[in-house]
Copies of this chain bind each other. A is one copy, B any other.
Amino acid sequence: MTQTLTGITILDLTHVLAGPFCSMTLGDLGATVIKVERPGIGDDTRAFPPFKGGKSAYFAGINHGKKSIALDLKNDDDRDTFEKMLARSDVLLENFRPGVMERLAYGWDDLHEKYPKLIYGAVSGFGHTGPEAKRPAYDMVVQARGGVMSITGEKDREPVRVGASIGDIVAGMYLCQGVLAALLDRERTGKGRKIDISMLDAQLAILEHAIAITTVTGTPPSPTGARHPSIAPFETFHGSDGLFVIAAGNDKLFEKLCVTLNLPLSDDPRFATNPARVKNARLLKRLIEAVTIDNTRAHWIAKLTAAGIPTGPIQTVDQVLRDPQILARNMVVDVLDRNGRPAFKASGNPIKLSGVSDPSVRAAAPDLDGNRGEILRWLESDK
């Protein structure tokens, strides 16, 4: 079955996470992704633990189904191969430090002149413009500098890192959006565009309510632990055997919650509106918990669910990977080895499209330079 990006070729110079995360999504949508890697070492994540059968599970989880060729872009023969690939590709992706591509004579201006239809997607720590464009960054540097750490954690304790690398991942997702927008645009204009994504910019883009609060009140929000800063009740509560979440996002849900817990609070002026509930959130939590502490999480989740109130457990990742709803959505897929046997687990494709297949297996992640022969034959063919 044809996928939405079938026939699109992505030449992927990126490594580690932000760029490869983008090309993974493009691959899941049907594009052919060719990793161009450094001879000898390749993508750094090939060496990231944990390993299985000598292969990195981390690398496999993000690079399944891609092809690999090792090229030294300072070597003339390899440059020749690379340029033949450029002539046949739709999209080039790179996440070098700004300036590296120009020093290789593969900067956007040169490429756009020679390959006007080529789309050029770049992701870097701070972007290709601005006073700090050339500085290096890792996920944690932009999580810290971009503000998300300052609103994550417990009140009056040190900020914590978001456990997933959202500094990289969100930037990779914006790069993916930019590539898709540029592919659509090319249908009308016939020309490629450059996409310049900054990991720091991408962190700002997800700050959401924090920008509104800071600019209107003058005071930046602090971490609020497990509570939403501007909706209540919207946080974790103790049952007799552990924590669960209640998210009553509007007055109607709050009223239902009061009925379900047999707590006569919805007419109380301290809790009658969401702004009032936010103001009195600590008291509200204690009043709700005085009820929930007497029974198990499972009891409350079943009871609140029956009443139509958003609720759920806090799951560890092993529980997530067994969650029936997750499995029913084909969100845990098998990554095959070279012999076609399941070797690793990876996240499925969350973009579910009608009339497009959603396979439950993914082709193997490539060995370094593992597709050289096939790629060279493609370059010599009539396409």
Contact = CB atoms under 8 A, between A and B. Distances in A.
Given A5-B184, A50-B213, A208 B61 contact: yes
A142 B247 CA distance: 10
Contacts of A130: 324-325, 328-329
Contacts of A273: 47
Contacts of A209: 48, 58, 61, 165
Number of copies: 2
A125 interface: yes
Given A129-B329, A318-B220, A323-B145, A350 B151 contact: no
A351 B135 CA distance: 20
A268 to B, nearest CB: 19
B317 A216 contact: no
B147 A245 contact: no
A212 interface: yes
A139 interface: yes
Contacts of A57: 212-213, 215-216
B5 A208 contact: no
Contacts of A88: none
A98 interface: no
A319 B215 CA distance: 11
A185 interface: yes
B329 A140 contact: no
Contact of A326 (B162, B204, B311): B204
A91 to B, nearest CB: 12
Given A166-B206, A320-B207, A144 B17 contact: no
Contacts of A314: 144-145, 149-150, 159
Given A5-B184, A201-B326, A353-B193, A147 B316 contact: yes
B236 A159 contact: yes
A123 to B, nearest CB: 10
A226 B158 contact: yes
A169 B206 contact: yes
A273 B220 CA distance: 39
A145 B320 contact: yes
A58 B230 contact: yes
